[in-house]
Amino acid sequence: MHYYTINQNGIAEIKDFLSTAHKPQHFDEGMLNAWASAAEFQLGEGNGASIEISSFFSKSGRTETFTVSAAGIDAHAIDE
């Protein structure tokens, strides 16, 4: 069995996505870690490492989703 975490590559991917799709564009480390936690939660639920911006906060005015690539995810074995 494994659990998954978002690594620094994944946080950089999230930051790039938010910089292009979210308004406003300022994100500190705590905010980025919160977005990474949301992606980790999705992984824990058996989904992809995705995050979603509501239409209210997106530059496009539509709901925007992003999935962290495999390079942005670390797998950790759990001893049972």
Rounded to the nearest 10 degrees, the angle between the axes of helix 8-21 and helix 29-44 is: 110
The stretch 28-39 carries a mean pLDDT of 96
Give the tens place of pLDDT for each residue, 37-52.
999 999 999 999 999 9
CA pair distance 25, 3, nearest whole angstrom: 30
The confidence band for 20, taking pLDDT boundaries of 50, 70 and 90, is very high
pLDDT of residue 67: 98
Whole-structure pTM value:
0.91
Tokens at 68, concatenated:
């962290």
What confidence score (pLDDT) does residue 54 get?
95
- Do 44 and 50 touch, CB atoms closer than 8 A? no
| Strand 50-53, strand 73-77: pairing | unpaired
